């Protein structure tokens, strides 16, 4: 109750416009179900409401658990007409001049709307999507920190959702030593890792494939389909796999580095990158090729090496249909022969 009272005091003392979002990042009026695709429409709609403090308090009752999103056009105090330079300065002013009380874990997520669009109210960094902006906000409001990996979150709900990723679970695979938190995840693991179920289906015929890259190879060679490309929303880079693009966003733009090396303190956004880095310190080579007896430090490198012996040319050029064993070879081919720069963060 005290938290809701503090948030209500901030809304009533400033020009902050509370709002909600849908899972598809549409903007919802705080006081009715009306939904909009951009903020100016929401701001205009909000002027049509005759809002009372009681209505705001009632709305907060059902929203503050997920974080209270506030939109500022400027950081103005309605009690004395002062306009602060930043959100933090506004909070300091309300505390010292008007004796309002706030705490760090109130779950407030401030955004600022200016002629260029909506941005973070804490720093000048810009994002092309509201989803990325909300993820970035967590870096400023580390109210709830994960004990497992040190990632911070603005609200307890986000922290609890994240914590589920660290649960070992009680569903153990009988064919290996892996354990899962859900029975459905275990069943999917058994099908793909042990039963080798071909879950990648062709959209044009009845063919199925174990690996995604094999499906792409088939689509290009059999049906003449162009390989999909995923463009980063923050920079010009292009990726052949959506997962690589997401890893790039986390590592390069969002700076989410939750895995830290115990030997050199380097940090990584992706667990696999962290594991790959660890072997550079240990020097272990536990994975040996049965054909040529070469040893490798990582299993995925051995798997990639085996494609040479199997003549598995899964990486197909979308421009001329030439196929390659390794992605880096395809990458070099596209860059040099077709003058198209396509980059990725992973094999």
CATH number at residue 269: 3.30.160.60
What the block records as the tokens of 210 is 């174990």
For residue 152, tell me if it sits in a domain: no
Whether residue 74 lies inside any domain: the answer is yes
Which of 89, 120, 143 marks a domain boundary?
Answer: 143
For residue 51, what are its two tokens? 């809002």
User: How far is 318 from 227, CA to CA, in rounded Å?
Assistant: 6
pTM assigned to the model? 0.49
**pLDDT tens for each residue of the chain, 347 residues long:** 477 788 888 888 999 999 988 767 788 888 888 898 888 888 889 888 877 778 787 777 766 566 788 999 889 999 998 999 889 899 999 999 998 887 766 778 899 987 778 888 888 887 777 888 887 887 788 777 777 777 778 777 778 777 766 665 667 777 776 777 677 777 777 776 776 666 678 888 888 876 776 787 788 778 888 777 788 888 888 876 777 788 788 778 877 777 777 666 677 777 777 777 777 666 667 678 878 888 877 777 887 888 788 778 878 887 887 888 888 888 888 888 887 766 554 44
Same domain, 250 and 117: no
Residue with tokens 């275990």: 186
First to last CA, the chain: 51
pLDDT for 345 equals: 44
Question: What CA–CA distance (Å, rounded) separates 279 from 291?
Answer: 23
One DSSP character per residue, 253-302 reads IS----EE-TTT--EESSHHHHHHHHHHHH----EE-TTT--EESSHHHH
Q: For position 177, what pLDDT does the model report?
A: 66
CB 144 within 8 A of CB 152: yes
Maximum pairwise Cα distance, the chain = 80
Query: Which tokens go with 213?
Result: 């890259």
The verdict on residue 243 lying in a domain is: yes
Distances (CA, A) of 282 to 172, 263, 310: 29, 10, 30
Q: Does 150 reside within a domain?
A: no
How high is the pLDDT of residue 168? 59
Question: Do 135 and 238 lie in a common domain?
Answer: no
Is 194 a member of any domain? no
Q: Does residue 83 lie in a domain region?
A: yes
In sequence order, the 6+-apart residues with CB closer than 8 A to the CB of 180 are 169, 171, 172, 173, 186, 189
- pLDDT at position 83, please? 92
Which pLDDT score is estimated for 75?
A: 92
In this structure, is the dihedral angle defined by the CA atoms of residues 39, 40, 44 and 47, taken in order, positive or negative?
Answer: positive
Q: How many CB atoms lie within 10 A of CB 224?
A: 9
Count how many domains the chain has: 2
Report how far residue 220's alpha carbon sits from residue 344's, in angstroms, rounded to the nearest whole number: 20
Query: Would residue 26 count as lying in a domain?
Result: yes
Classify residue 248: in a domain, yes or no. Answer: yes
Residue 6 sits in the same domain as residue 137? yes
- Based on the domain organization, do 235 and 129 belong to the same domain? no
Domain that holds residue 92: 2-143
Domain end position, chosen among 143, 177, 197: 143
Of the three residues 119, 143, 167, the one that is the final residue of a domain is 143
**Cα 278 from Cα 108, distance rounded (Å):** 38
């Amino acid at each position: 109750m005290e938290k809701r009272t503090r948030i209500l005091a901030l809304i009533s003392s400033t020009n902050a416009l509370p709002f909600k979002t849908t899972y598809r990042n549409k903007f919802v009026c705080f006081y009715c179900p009306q939904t909009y695709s951009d903020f100016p429409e929401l701001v205009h709609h909000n002027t049509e409401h005759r809002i009372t403090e009681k209505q705001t308090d009632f709305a907060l009752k059902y929203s503050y658990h997920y974080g209270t999103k506030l939109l500022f056009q400027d950081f103005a105090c309605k009690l004395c007409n002062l306009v602060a330079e930043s959100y933090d300065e506004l909070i300091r002013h309300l505390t010292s001049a008007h004796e309002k009380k706030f705490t760090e874990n109130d779950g407030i997520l401030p955004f600022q709307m200016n002629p260029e669009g909506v941005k973070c109210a804490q720093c000048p960094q810009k994002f092309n999507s509201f989803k990325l902006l909300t993820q970035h906000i967590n870096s400023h409001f580390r109210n709830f920190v994960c004990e497992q990996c040190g990632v911070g979150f603005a609200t307890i709900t986000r922290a609890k959702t994240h914590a589920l990723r660290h649960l070992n679970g009680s569903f153990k695979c009988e064919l290996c030593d892996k354990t899962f938190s859900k029975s459905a995840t275990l069943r999917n693991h058994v099908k793909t890792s042990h039963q080798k179920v071909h879950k990648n289906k062709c959209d044009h015929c009845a063919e199925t494939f174990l690996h995604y890259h094999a499906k792409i190879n088939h689509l290009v060679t059999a049906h003449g389909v162009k390989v999909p490309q995923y463009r980063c929303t923050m920079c010009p880079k292009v990726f052949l796999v959506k997962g690589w693009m997401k890893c790039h966003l986390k590592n390069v733009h969002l700076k989410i580095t939750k895995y830290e090396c115990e030997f050199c303190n380097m940090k990584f956004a992706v667990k696999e990158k962290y594991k790959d880095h660890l072997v550079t310190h240990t020097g272990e080579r536990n994975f040996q090729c049965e054909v040529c007896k070469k040893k490798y430090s990582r299993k995925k490198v051995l798997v990639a090496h085996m494609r040479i012996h199997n003549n598995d040319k899964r990486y197909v050029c979308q421009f001329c249909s030439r196929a390659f064993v390794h992605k880096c070879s395809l990458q070099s081919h596209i860059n040099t022969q077709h003058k198209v720069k396509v980059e990725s963060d992973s094999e």
